Amino acid sequence: MLDDFMVRAGLAGIGTALAAAPLGCFVVWRRMAYFGDATAHAALLGVALSLAFQGPIMLGVLATALIMALMVQGLSGRGLAEDTLLGVLAHAALAIGLVAVSFLSGARMDLMGYLFGDILAVTVFDLGLIWAGAAAVIGLLAWRWQRLLTATLNPDLAQASGISSRAEQMVLTIALALTVAVAIKAVGALLIGALLIIPPAAARPLARTPEAMALITAAIGSGAAIAGLGSSFQFDTPTGPTIVCVAAALFCLTAIAGRLRA
C-alpha cells in the first residue's frame, strides 16, 4: 500500500496535521503566531547546514529550530518588544539560510521543496519520521496538558500552584521545534506557520472546551490535508499551498457558522 505515492502523501499530511493540532491550539491561545513563524524560518538554515555537511535534514532542522526558539525565549524582555525581536530573528534566519543555500551546488531544486513543501516526494522513511515526530509531540503535550492549560489560561493560579510558566514555555518550545522538523517536508518552511494557526482558528468557534478544540483542530487539519492533496492532483497546483488554501476556506466557513450561531 505504501508503494503508492498518493497514499504516502495522504498519510504524511495527516501525520503533520495531528502533530500541529494540539500545539497550534496553544499557539493561538498564547498569541504565539510570530514565534511559530520565526522558528519555521530558522528551519531553512538547518536545511542549508544539513546539505552542506551531508547530514540528516530533519536533525539539522530540529537543531536550528530549537536554537531559534531558545534564543527568542532568552532574549525577550531585554530592551526590545517581543514582536520586534521575533521579526528581526525570523527574517535574519531566513535570509542567512537562503544565502547559505545559494553557495551549495545542486541545491536549488531542494530549496523550493523545503520552502513550499514537496509532500508528493515523501518516502516510506520520511513517513516513519513524520509519524514518530507526531507521536512525540502529542505524547509530550498530553503529558503536560493540564499544567500547560493552567499556565496558559490562568497564570496567577499556575503561580499559586507552583507551576513554572518558564518550564511550560520550554515544553512548548521543544514541541514547536519537533513540529517544524516534522512539517517542513510536507508543507515547507514558509507555510508551517499557516498550518499551526489556521486549523485551530477554524476550530475555535466550534469548540466549547480546550480538549474539544484540539480534537476539532486535528479533524480540520487532516481534512484540509486530504482535500488539498486531492485538489492539487486534480488541478495540478502546488500541494503545500493548496492544503493551506483549503484550510483557509474551512476557516471562513467556521467563522461564518460561528457568526450565525451568535
Per-residue model confidence (pLDDT) at position 78: 64
Domain carrying residue 80 = 5-189
223 belongs to a structural domain:
no
Per-residue pLDDT at 2 exceeds 60 = no
Write the CATH number for 134. Answer: 1.10.3470.10
C-alpha to C-alpha distance for 138 and 131, rounded to whole angstroms: 10
pLDDT at residue 108 greater than cutoff 80: no
Residue 123 included in any domain: yes
Q: How many domains is the chain partitioned into structurally?
A: 1
Q: Is residue 221 part of a domain?
A: no
134 part of a folded domain: yes
Residue 109 pLDDT exceeds 60: no
How far is it between the farthest Cα atoms of the chain?
A: 56
Measure the CA–CA gap between 248 and 244, rounded to whole angstroms.
6
Per-residue model confidence as pLDDT tens digits over 195-245: 899 999 999 999 989 999 999 999 999 999 999 999 998 898 888 889 999
**What's the whole-number mean pLDDT along residues 55-79?**
77
**192-203 and 5-29 helices cross at what angle (nearest 10)?**
70
> Residue 180's pLDDT is what?
86
pLDDT on residue 80: 64
